[in-house]
């Protein structure tokens, strides 16, 4: 299946990242890699009639932030921590009486393991989703997230001389200084990608009347 791809610069700007010409060039090279290099193979599948409180326990047990949901013998949807936050907690629903089937996002948006990162980001943008289920021979083999892809591209593009100080690394977006690349990567994921996405959801929830301003934006789950 072919997907119409937007220019990488537009895709990255859509994620709330500020870029320059050299950074774009480095990121474009990384974006030619396939998603199989970055996907998370940790799939946890739960039945649609499982209650949310039990599902949260499974997430903690397996250290994942999303669950695939099956109806019968077929995977039909996905539930993330954000789904639980906005569809259960913010609406005052009882997690011991609400099932995964009631809050799952469906249909699943899937992608082949050999698709390039640029195409995957484009597909996420087109469908307004943050995660794709990766398929191999029509079977789910992993998950890939918007934050995961953008974070990995950024990490690979960051080792530029002008971004480094003696034993320090500077964030290319806000100029904050960090001791190492993992710390910088976490900062990019949480602040420049995750927080923007989370605040966007909070704004939409506010418009729908689910929450009342003012609110403090918690760390993205």
Find the CATH number of the domain harbouring 59: 3.90.1280.20
pLDDT at 58: 92
pLDDT at 177: 76
Contact 201, 84 (CB under 8 A): no
Please check whether residue 132 lies inside any domain of the structure: no
Q: Which two tokens stand for residue 36?
A: 């199989």
pLDDT at 174: 63
Contact 118, 73 (CB under 8 A): no
Three-state DSSP class for 66?
A: strand
Domain count, the chain: 2
Range of the domain at 83: 45-103
Contact 145, 38 (CB under 8 A): no
Please check whether residue 135 lies inside any domain of the structure: no
- pTM greater than 0.85 (yes/no): no
User: Are both 15 and 50 inside the same structural domain?
Assistant: no
pLDDT at 4: 44
Contact 184, 159 (CB under 8 A): no
pLDDT at 152: 56
User: Are both 49 and 92 inside the same structural domain?
Assistant: yes
Which portions of the chain are predicted below pLDDT 70? Answer: 1-31, 150-168, 170-175, 185, 187-221
Q: Which two tokens stand for residue 67?
A: 């669950």
Residues 6+ apart with CB under 8 A from 173: 17, 18, 188, 192
Residues 6+ apart with CB under 8 A from 95: 51, 52, 53, 56, 84, 88, 89
170-183 pLDDT tens trace: 666 566 777 777 77
DSSP state of 141: E
pLDDT at 29: 62
User: Are both 16 and 53 inside the same structural domain?
Assistant: no
First to last CA, the chain: 32
Please check whether residue 212 lies inside any domain of the structure: no
Please check whether residue 49 lies inside any domain of the structure: yes
pLDDT at 209: 47
DSSP state of 190: I
pLDDT at 49: 95
Computed on alpha carbons and rounded to an integer, the radius of gyration of the chain in Å comes to 18
pLDDT at 88: 92
User: Are both 55 and 15 inside the same structural domain?
Assistant: no
Please check whether residue 52 lies inside any domain of the structure: yes
Please check whether residue 1 lies inside any domain of the structure: no
Contact 39, 142 (CB under 8 A): yes
Please check whether residue 216 lies inside any domain of the structure: no
């Amino acid at each position: 299946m072919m997907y119409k791809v937007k220019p990488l610069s537009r895709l990255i700007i859509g994620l709330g990242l500020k870029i320059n010409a050299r950074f774009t060039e480095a990121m474009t090279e990384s974006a030619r890699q396939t998603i199989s290099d970055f996907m998370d193979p940790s799939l946890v599948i739960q039945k649609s009639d499982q209650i949310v409180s039990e599902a949260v326990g499974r997430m903690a047990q397996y250290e994942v932030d999303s669950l695939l949901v099956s109806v019968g013998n077929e995977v039909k949807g996905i539930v993330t921590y954000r789904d639980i936050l906005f569809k259960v907690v913010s609406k005052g629903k009882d997690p011991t009486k609400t099932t995964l089937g009631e809050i799952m996002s469906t249909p699943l948006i899937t992608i082949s393991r050999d698709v390039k990162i640029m195409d995957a980001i484009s597909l996420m943008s087109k469908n307004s989703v943050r995660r794709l289920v990766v398929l191999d021979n029509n079977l789910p083999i992993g998950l890939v997230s918007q934050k995961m892809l953008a974070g990995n591209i950024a990490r690979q593009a960051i080792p530029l001389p002008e971004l480094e100080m003696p034993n320090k690394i500077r964030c290319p977006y806000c100029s904050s200084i960090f001791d190492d690349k993992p710390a910088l990567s976490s900062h990019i994921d949480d602040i420049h990608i995750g927080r923007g996405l989370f605040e966007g959801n909070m704004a939409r929830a506010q418009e729908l009347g689910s929450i009342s301003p003012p609110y403090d934006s918690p760390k993205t789950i």
